[in-house]
Structure 1
Amino acid sequence: MDRGIRGFEPAFLVGIEAVRRTHGPRLAALAGRRLAGFAVVRFVEDGDWFADLPVVLDFDGIRVEVCHWKFDELSIGWNEIDTTAAVTGWESSEFTPRWSGDHESLAPLVGRELTAVRLLEWRPRPPGRDMAAGTVAVEFVFGEDFLRIVNGLDENSLETGAAHPDYVRHELTR
């Protein structure tokens, strides 16, 4: 599932424990770094964000690459994706994907210090038939501001502000 992205070799995990065990300490170690930049893929023709592809956040030279897939899978990569390379394999498509440093939810956070990273687990109340139950989001805390990359049910979705109360917070430590 490289989708034409150089360096993108996702390792999808399911569930809070798998994500915390594999990436928790490394995510926590990002605290204290500044968000130097970011990259998302947009279509040249209309400027729309292609949310199926990774969101890349650069914290002073350490890049974390977050990508949700299917209904419950999350891949987090580290310094693997080359956002300077063209996205390939779309020649027969009517759309041309290209890396962009433009996103209204991310731009205001550039230059800000990351104070914490948390994993959030969606646990709706009351429990019932919610396809998103158990999905894992990554929350980046910038003082009083929050950015969450969540599973938008088979794509990435970005949320800002306070998290919905049905998220269970899992603090990360180094």
Structure 2
Amino acid sequence: MGISGFEPTFLVGLKAISEEHGPGLAALVGRCLTGFALVRFVEDGDWYADCPVVLDFNGVQVEISHSKFDELSIGWNTIDTTAAIAGWEWFELTPAWSGADEQLEPFIGQELREVALLEWRPSRRDMAAGTLAVEFVFDNTGRFHIANALDENSIEVGDAHPESVRHPLGCGAA
């Protein structure tokens, strides 16, 4: 993708993600979200959801990227969002890091109260069953989660769908 420092390690399943990243995600509780970065195209401002969502919690950077139907990569402090994205000369649009997103902007400066993994468990047969989202809960502004939109990321604000099972990883004093 030409993203400096991005070397994803995709894992599948609640157990694998919880064991590998649960403690790190839980350790974010109590920190403020101080910034974020998404890849947008310079020409039209559209979000390129195939690239990782980078969240900065007061100096601890978590990098979330979904792939295929069930793969999730969580990275820590590896992506340089100040570096230009390289290797896109063949494409008609130019990707660049952006700190603008109307869904995430209200969360800047807010303290993280809880982190959870959301496991999609629909009542009917669904090829996305078992996919995971990472949910971030804040005191004053609610919550958002970064989910698998079937081979790319999505950002959803508010409560998760009722057929998502919450697996809390860490929470502060309520």
Paired position in structure 2 for 1:106: 104
Amino acid at match of 2:7: E
> Does 2:74 match 1:76?
yes
Equivalent positions of 1:5-16 (< 5 A) are 5-16=3-14
CA apart distance, 1:123? 0.1
Paired position in structure 1 for 2:129: 133
Paired position in structure 2 for 1:142: 138
Q: How far, CA to CA, are the matches of 2:18 and 2:110 in structure 1?
A: 24
1:34 to 26, 32, 35: 32
Deviations 1:124-152 (A, max 9, x none): 01x31x12100010000002601100000
> Does 2:152 match 1:155?
yes
Worse overlay, 137-146 or 15-24 = 137-146
Amino acid at match of 2:137: V
Paired position in structure 2 for 1:4: 2
CA apart distance, 1:171? 1.2
Structure 1's unaligned 5+ residue stretches are none
% identical equivalent positions = 65
> Does 2:159 match 1:171?
no
2:19 to 8, 11, 21: 21
**Is the partner of 2:21 in helix, strand or coil?**
helix
RMSD: 1.0
Amino acid at match of 2:48: F
**Contact 2:64–2:72 (8 Å) recurs in 1:** yes
CA apart distance, 1:173? 4.1
Paired position in structure 2 for 1:121: 119
Q: How far, CA to CA, are the matches of 2:6 and 2:91 in structure 1?
A: 20
Q: How far, CA to CA, are the matches of 1:52 and 1:14 in structure 2?
A: 17
Amino acid at match of 2:94: T
Count of matched residue pairs: 170
Q: How far, CA to CA, are the matches of 1:95 and 1:45 in structure 2?
A: 6
**Is the partner of 2:112 in helix, strand or coil?**
coil
**Contact 2:29–2:170 (8 Å) recurs in 1:** no
Q: How far, CA to CA, are the matches of 1:143 and 1:16 in structure 2?
A: 26
CA apart distance, 1:166? 0.4
CA apart distance, 1:88? 0.4
**Is the partner of 1:46 in helix, strand or coil?**
coil
